[in-house]
Chains A and B, each alone.
Chain A
Amino acid sequence: MKKLMLVMLSVLSSCGGMGKMSLTTWGEDYIEQEIPAAEFEDGYTVKYTKFLVVVNEFQLATKTGTKGPKQAKPVLVDVHLAGPVELELFSEVPAEKWDSVSWAIMPSADAVVLGAIAATDVERMKTEGYSVWVEGTVSKGLVSKSFAWGFKLNTQYTECKSDDHGEGVTVTTGATAVVELTMHGDHFWYDDLQSPDAKLRAEAIVAADANLDGIVTQAELNAVSLTTLPVGQYGTGGASQVKTLGDFVTALGRTVGHFRGEGECLATTR
């Protein structure tokens, strides 16, 4: 039935008309509200207070090589704030099946700031070259640690597709298609880079607070060798250079970008 609808959309779109496309982003409840304890293998809860990302290079295209509209400016947005948030409205989009959609999360010194983001945060993102900055707390019972981590990742997402909408996006004449770049805040807490049995887990990250000041820093994560963690947790698949918990969390940071909910893209590190 879903395939039939997609085919019908493709037929409707091939009429030579024009439509619109609204590019949005959303952090879902996991980033806006919390990741509840029931999701964690070890019972922790994570609440983000900031989840800044720089979205850039969104491009509509087809597999046959036709290029469509492209994102005009990089955008810095805090997906902890209530969303979805519109990043850009493409008002003149040829009505057709754009089956080769790509975008990137990457640092930018001239990103347009969307929504209420503190000037100090904007300054840090731009001058220190971060593409992702997350702050929040991880807690269980009386234990609570805060974190503020920045990542200078440059990740290109290509060949985006979703189960609900298929490859890319279909723009129909006179209508507005909505494409949501969905951020998955739970990914920072997975305990394996490859296994389908990966679990959300926080104990090792909480325990990384070596000076017991209640703050888990990236320096403290970098000081934790994975060889000190139980075998069977924090597996790295084929990422042989991921040796510390800091490396591991950074690797997971490349996976936060998704497409139209649970959809995925090919992620390439640049």
Chain B
Amino acid sequence: MSRLIVLSCLSLLACGGTERTRTTFPVQVSARSSGLVTDSGWSVTLTKATAHLASVRFFSGKAQLARATPWWHRALISNAYAHPGHYAAGEALGEVLATLDADLLAGPTEWGVADGVTGAYGSLQLGFAEGGLEVEGTATKGADTVAFSTRFTPPAPLEGAAFSHEMTTSPGRVDVQFDLSVVFSRIDFALVGSGAKPLDTMSPAFNGYARGIEDVSAYVTTWSAQ
């Protein structure tokens, strides 16, 4: 269906009257995984971080959140039509539909070549395959060390991650970087319920992990010209 939408935008003056040109661009996945410290003060060292991915789709709609610094004073829901539920994906402009098991600790991983069209890109949708984001490691706080393992698969593709770029036919590359500091920020390893390896899925710690994965600011997407 999505491919159909993208292809329909290839025709002149399609999709809202904007002229589009077909283009392709490679997409890679990377991660920021060092120096992870949770909000509750746990230092996290990962021995495994695998993202099981299914799709990434690019849209014209702006993400509902633009980061700014310092956040608390400047940015919350900004530069968007701020209304709960009012993120509008807009036009489908490109996609990679291929499963990928990306080892986030091993450096950038090529995902595939996106079929797309030119135009103003505003956001992306990230689809996870079964397994979602799977991690193992240790968390340390003072004299306490907790060995953990867990995985969480978002039940639906994550929508509205920011990617602001005027796409042309110029060569370049999209990098979807997983900011694992965001993914882990909400986890309190003192609240692991019945166990940490595997992490009790009813525990506040697992809840924080799931919320971290569903926080679309954890996916920092950039364009690099080549």
Residues in A lying within 8 Å of B, measured CB to CB: 155, 187, 190, 192-198, 225-229, 231-232, 235-243, 251-252, 254-255, 258, 264-270
| In the complex, chain B residues whose CB is within 8 Å of the CB of A254 | 76-77, 82
Work out how many contacts link A and B, with CB atoms closer than 8 A: 117
How far in angstroms is the closest Cβ of chain B from A233? 10
Contact B211 A231 (CB under 8 A): yes
Q: Which B184-224 residues sit within 8 Å CB-CB of chain A?
A: 185-186, 188, 191, 204-205, 207-208, 210-211, 214-218
Distance of A202 from chain B, by nearest CB (Å): 14
Q: Given A235-B214, A255-B83, A255-B84, A225 and B77 touching (CB < 8 A)?
A: no
Identify the stretch in B64-72, B91-99, B132-140 within 8 Å (CB) of chain A at 4 or more residues: B64-72
Given known contacts A238-B162, A241-B71, A196 and B77 CB-to-CB distance under 8 angstroms: no
Q: Which of B39-93 contact A (CB under 8 A)?
A: 39, 63-65, 67, 71-72, 74-87
The one of A155, A229, A237, A251 that contacts B87, using a Cβ cutoff of 8 Å: A237
Answer yes or no: B182 CB below 8 A from chain A CBs: yes
A residues less than 8 Å from B210 (CB atoms) = 231
Contact of B85 among A198, A251, A269 (CB under 8 A): A198
Complex contact A187–B76 (CB within 8 A): no
Give the contacting residue for A238; candidates B65, B86, B205; CB below 8 A. B65
CA distance A192 to B156 in the complex (A): 15
| A to B CB contacts below 8 Å, 15 in the list | A155-B82, A194-B87, A194-B160, A195-B85, A195-B159, A227-B211, A229-B207, A237-B64, A238-B160, A239-B77, A251-B76, A255-B77, A255-B84, A264-B83, A267-B77
The answer to whether A231 and B84 touch across the interface, beta carbons within 8 angstroms, is no
Q: Are A227 and B188 in contact (CB under 8 A)?
A: yes
Cβ distance B71 to chain A, nearest Cβ, rounded Å: 5
Task: Knowing A196-B85, A251-B76, say if A240 contacts B64 (CB, 8 Å).
Answer: no
Interface residues of B in 152-199 (CB under 8 A from A): 155, 159-162, 182, 185-186, 188, 191
Neighbouring B residues of A252 by C-beta, 8 Å: 84
Q: A37: shortest Cβ distance to chain B, in Å?
A: 19
User: Inside 8 A of B216's CB, which chain A residues have their CB?
Assistant: 194, 237-238
Query: Which range contains the number of B residues in contact with the other chain?
Result: 35 or more
User: A193–B64 contact, CB under 8 A?
Assistant: yes
* Residue from the list A232, A237, A251, A255 in contact with B160, Cβ < 8 A: A237
Let me know if A227 and B83 touch, CB within 8 A.
no
Docked-complex contact B79 and A240, CB < 8 angstroms = no
Report the separation of the CA atoms of residues A269 and B83 in the bound assembly, to the nearest whole angstrom.
Answer: 13
Contact for A267 among B81, B182, B191, CB less than 8 A: B81
**A184, chain B: closest CB distance, angstroms:** 8
A194-B159, A240-B218, A251-B77 provided; 10 other pairs, C-beta below 8 A?
Answer: A187-B83, A190-B85, A195-B84, A195-B85, A195-B87, A195-B159, A226-B211, A237-B215, A238-B67, A255-B84
Q: A264–B162 Cα gap in the complex (Å)?
A: 21
Closest B residue, CB atoms, query A266: B81
In the bound assembly, the distance between CA atoms of A192 and B214 in angstroms comes to 12
* Complexed CA–CA distance, A242 and B75 (Å): 11
Task: Kindly state the separation between the CA atoms of A240 and B161 in the bound complex, as whole angstroms.
Answer: 12
**Chain A: minimal CB distance from B88 (Å):** 8
Whether B84 lies near A240 (C-beta < 8 A) is no
A37 to B86 CA separation, bound complex (whole angstroms): 23
- Chain A residues near B188 (CB-CB < 8 A): 227
B residues in contact with A187, CB < 8 Å: 83-84
Report the bound CA distance from A35 to B179 in whole Å: 39
Say yes or no: A194 contacts B64, CB within 8 Å. yes
**Among candidates A196, A231, A236, A266, residue contacting B215 with C-beta atoms closer than 8 Å:** A236
The answer to whether A269 and B87 have CB atoms under 8 Å apart is no
Shortest A226–chain B CB gap in Å is: 6
B residues less than 8 Å from A192 (CB atoms): 84-85
Q: With the chains together, A268 CA to B215 CA distance in Å?
A: 20
B204 touches A227 (CB 8 A): yes
Shortest distance from the beta carbon of B48 to any chain A beta carbon, whole Å: 22
A155 to B77 Cα, complex, angstroms = 10
Nearest A residue (CB) for B201: A231
User: What are the 3 tightest A-B residue pairs by CB atom distance, in nearest-first order?
Assistant: A267-B82, A238-B65, A190-B84
CA distance A258 to B113 in the complex (A): 41
B39 touches A238 (CB 8 A): no
The answer to whether A239 and B79 have CB atoms under 8 Å apart is no
Taking a contact as CB atoms closer than 8 A, the residue among B63, B67, B74, B204 that contacts A228 in the complex is: B204
